[in-house]
Amino acid sequence: GNSVTQMEGPVTLSEEAFLTINCTYTATGYPSLFWYVQYPGEGLQLLLKATKADDKGSNKGFEATYRKETTSFHLEKGSVQVSDSAVYFCALKISGYQGAQKLVFGQGTRLTINP
C-alpha cells in the first residue's frame, strides 16, 4: 500500500540550529511528494513539493530532495528561527477514482524553536 513515515517528535532546537526532519515513503508507481506546515490554530499550508526523482523542492529556506533509491524526502533548513515552530507533515500524492489526486500524510512532527 501507500504510506508515509515521519521522524518521531517532538523536536526542540535552539535558534540558528540546523534542522532535519526525516520522511520515508512506500508507494506504487511514482508519487509526487510534499511537505506541509501547520501553525497553531490554522490549517495546513504547502511548504514545498517535488514531482519526480532527484527534484529538489525549496521555500522559505527549507529544502527537500526526492530520493527514489532510498524512498526518502527529508526536510532540511540550515538555520531555524523561532517563527519556524509548527507541525510539519510529509505527504505523497496518489491517483484514485477517476484520476482524483489523493494525499497520504505522515503523522506529523512538532517542531519547537527556542530563542
Partner 1 sequence: NAGVTQTPKFQVLKTGQSMTLQCAQDMNHEYMSWYRQDPGMGLRLIHYSVGAGITDQGEVPNGYNVSRSTTEDFPLRLLSAAPSQTSVYFCASSYEGDGYTFGSGTRLTVV
**What count of other Cβ atoms lies within 10 Å of the Cβ of residue 98?**
5
Bridge pairing between strands 109-114 and 11-14: parallel
Calculate the CA 107 to chain-centre distance: 11
Site for partner 1 in 51-110 (CB under 8 A): 51, 89, 93, 96-108
Name beta bridge partners: 93.
32, 103
Q: Compute the least distance from the CB of residue 14 to partner 1, in Å.
A: 25
3-state secondary structure of 75: strand
Over the window 4 to 43, marking each residue x when it contacts partner 1 by CB under 8 A and - when it does not, the resulting string is x-x-------------------------x---x----xxx
Query: Where on the chain is the footprint of partner 1 (CB under 8 A)?
Result: 4, 6, 32, 36, 41-46, 49, 51, 89, 93, 96-108
